Amino acid sequence: MAKKVLVVDDDEKTVKFLTAALEENGYEAIGAYNGKEGLEKIQNEKPDLAILDVMMPKKTGFVLFRQLRRDENLKNIPVIMLTGVAEVLEDLDAESDDTHERPYDSLREAMRKSIKDMRDEGLIKPDLFIDKPIDPELVIEKVRELIGS
């Protein structure tokens, strides 16, 4: 039976090409367009892996991710997070004051806080962050590494 992968992103294009790529590589792909829908589909479909976008309306990827990790039934589902600012995440642990990134300070702070909160709660970090623009082949490769074909 094909392994099930859920893609949650408010950007239709991303959902479209990622599901196409996954299906092309023999996975069963499900798309969801916001955090709320994403949580419902995870609960109903019990996917083998979830790909979550960080920046989503209504429920950000981090909020959704924490709900998964707190849920006994869902907490072992591997998660890949998509972000437009993965380079921000690279130095999340290090205090950095790169003045050139002022406009994104709030986002960076929010992420730093989310990760810190998760760590404080004893939650496991997402398995992987992938930066946008996403290379579908890279995503497939990583999915394969995490859950096999």
Q: Which residues bind another protein (CB under 8 A)?
A: 10-11, 13-14, 16-18, 20-21, 24, 36, 53-59, 84-85, 99-107, 131-137
Residue number, 68 or 139, with CB nearest to another protein: 139
Residue number, 17 or 115, with CB nearest to another protein: 17
Residue number, 41 or 77, with CB nearest to another protein: 41
Helix axes 61-70, 35-45, angle to 10 degrees: 30
Q: For strand 28-32 and strand 79-83, is the pairing parallel, antiparallel, or unpaired?
A: unpaired
Residue number, 15 or 77, with CB nearest to another protein: 15
Measure the CA–CA gap between 56 and 58, rounded to whole angstroms: 7
Structure-block tokens of residue 8: 């949650």
Minimum CB separation from another protein for residue 111, in Å? 13
Q: Is the dihedral of CA 76, 145, 25, 84 positive or negative?
A: positive
User: 82 forms bridges with which residues in the sheet?
Assistant: 53, 130
Minimum CB separation from another protein for residue 29, in Å? 13
Minimum CB separation from another protein for residue 46, in Å? 24
